[in-house]
Chain A
Amino acid sequence: MSRQANRGTESKKMSSELFTLTYGALVTQLCKDYENDEDVNKQLDKMGYNIGVRLIEDFLARSNVGRCHDFRETADVIAKVAFKMYLGITPSITNWSPAGDEFSLILENNPLVDFVELPDNHSSLIYSNLLCGVLRGALEMVQMAVEAKFVQDTLKGDGVTEIRMRFIRRIEDNLPAGEE
C-alpha cells in the first residue's frame, strides 16, 4: 500500500520539476550558443513570445474568462488566473501608474529559479525573460500591445521578483504585429 503512495508522490514531484529543469537546461544551452547575456535575453523573449501566442488559446479554452474591459481586469486575470493555472503562484498587483496603464506583478517565489544561482560572469542575464515574452505574445493575441520587463529579480539579490507591465496600445486590426 505504501509503495503505491510513494509512487504517486514521486511522479508528482518529477512532473512539477520537469518544466523548471528543462527551462534551466535551455538557458544553459543558450548561454553557450550566444556570446553575451543581451543576446540570450533577446532569444528568451522571442521564444517566450512564440509560446505566448499559442498558450493564449490553451488559456482561453481552459479558464473560461470573458473579455477584459480594461487593463485593471487584465491585470487581475493575469495574476489570479493565468499565473495560478500555469505556475501555481499568485503574484500580487501593485504600483499602478496614475493613468492606469502600468502596474507591477510581485512574485514572492519564482518557480523557474528553484535551485538556480547565477554565475558571476552572467550578471546581465535575465534568467526568467521567457515569461516577459509569453506575456507579450499572449496579450498581443487578445489585441493588446504591452511591454513586460523584470525590474527586480531574487536571482540578483533583490528581495522579490517584480515584472513591470506597461500598456502601449490596443491593436485594432486582426493581423499580429510582425516580429523583427
Chain B
Amino acid sequence: MMFSLSFNAQWVLLSTLILGMAAGIMGCFAYWKRQSLMSDALSHAALPGVVVGFALMGTKSLPVMIAGAAASALLGALLIQWIRSSSRVKEDAAMGIVLSVFFGLGIMLLTIVNRMPGGNQSGLDSFIFGQAASMVRKDVYIMAGVALLVLLISIIGFKEWKLFLFDPGFARGLGLSSRWMNSIYMAVLVLIIVIGIQAVGVILMSALLIIPAVSARYWTNSFLWMVVLSGLFGGGAGMVGTYISTLGKGWPTGPFIVLAASSLFLVSLAFGVRKGLLVVYLQQRAQKKIHVQSMSHAQATERGR
C-alpha cells in the first residue's frame, strides 16, 4: 500500500504515524490527570494564535503559526486555571468558556484574514478539520521533529512521570517539584496539540489524545503497557486515517483519523482482556455456573439429611 503512494504522501503518512504515537503517549498522562477534556479546550483555544501567526507573516509559515498556536493555547490554559482558582466557576464551565470564546475569536480573525489579498488561497480553513495532504516537506520535518522530542521527554522521565501522576505526595517527598512537572506536562501537551492541528484540525485533535488512551486501558493494568499500547493505537489510527483520507478528493484527514481510532476503541471495548465486554460476560457466566452448582449441591446435601 505504501508503494502506490507518491513520495510526499509517504512522508505525510510517516509523520502522522509519529504524531499519533506521541499523542497516544501524552493522552495516557492526560487520562490519569483526569484532564482528557482539557486537550479539547486547548486545541480550540489554539485557533486565534494560528490565524494571528498567519496574519503576521502574510504567508503560511508553519513555525510562526505553531508559535502563535502555542501562545494562545497556553493563554487559554492559564485563563482556565485562573478562573477555576479565583472564582466559584467550576473547571468544566471554565473550559467551556475558554473553548467557545477563543474559538469564536479565531473565527472572527479567520474571516478578516480570509478577506485579505491572498488570504483565501492560504488553506487556513484546513486548520479546522485538518488537511494532511496540504503539508509540504518542511512541515513534515517540523512535525516529526517535535513529535520525536515529545517521545523522548516522556521516555527519559518515565519514572518521574509515573510518580507525578499516581502519587504526587510521594513525588514531592522525593524532592520532585510538582510545579515544574506540571509546567513541563502542560508545555508538552500544548506542543502535541499545536503540531497536530495541521493534520487533524482544531476540533478533533483532542480525540487523538483521548481515544487511544481509553482503548489501551481495556488491555492492561500496567501503566507502562498502557503507554506503549496507546502509542501504538494512536500511531496506527493516524496512519490508517491519513491513508483513507487520500482515497477521496478533498476529504479532510481529521475525521478519518478519529474514526480509525474509534474503531480500535470499539474492538478494545468488546475484546479487551481487562473489563472488555466479552471477558466480563464470560466471567459472569462462569461465576453464575459455580454459584448454581454450589447451590444445587447444598440443596442435595440438605435433602439427603
Physical interaction between A and B: no
Chain B contacts to A: CB under 8 angstroms: none
